[in-house]
Amino acid sequence: MSDKIPQEDNRVYWANVEFTYEEGSAQHGIFEGGLVYAFVRAYDVREALDRIEEEFEDRDLGVRAVDYVTEYQEVPWENEEDQLHFDGVAALAGSTSEVFLDSFEVYERR
């Protein structure tokens, strides 16, 4: 029996992540950090969080806090433009093994 979970059992998860710019990042020393939505296809919440944390590490970003990680299914957005945008990002994440990070909201260095 294989340890690999069949792809059809995977779902798209999304998370709201507060991050910091770590040494090695082009923005380190310019910006403190920020917030970003992350989307990923995974078997469960634990795998989704692990994959998101790995992506952040690969980008020299530190994870300060994760507000939530939840399955993305028909999330109601405030307007049609946001609905189309985020549904599209979720669809992209569902069609690949990559972690998708949406637009970064950054804050200045303290």
66-90 pLDDT tens trace: 999 999 987 788 999 999 999 999 9
At residue 8, the pLDDT reads 60
**88 in a structural domain:** yes
**92 in a structural domain:** yes
Expressed as residue numbers, the domain containing 49 is 7-108
**37 in a structural domain:** yes
- Write out pLDDT tens, residues 41-52: 999 999 999 999
69 closest CA partner among 91, 40, 90, 100:
40
**48 in a structural domain:** yes
Domain count, the chain: 1
Distance CA 99, CA 44 (A): 14
- Three-class DSSP category at 48: helix
**73 in a structural domain:** yes
With a cut of 80, say whether residue 7 has pLDDT above it.
no
Tokens 């969080």 belong to 49
At residue 2, the pLDDT reads 37
Q: What is the pTM of this model?
A: 0.87
Q: Which two tokens stand for residue 96?
A: 């690949």
Distance CA 86, CA 81 (A): 9
**2 in a structural domain:** no
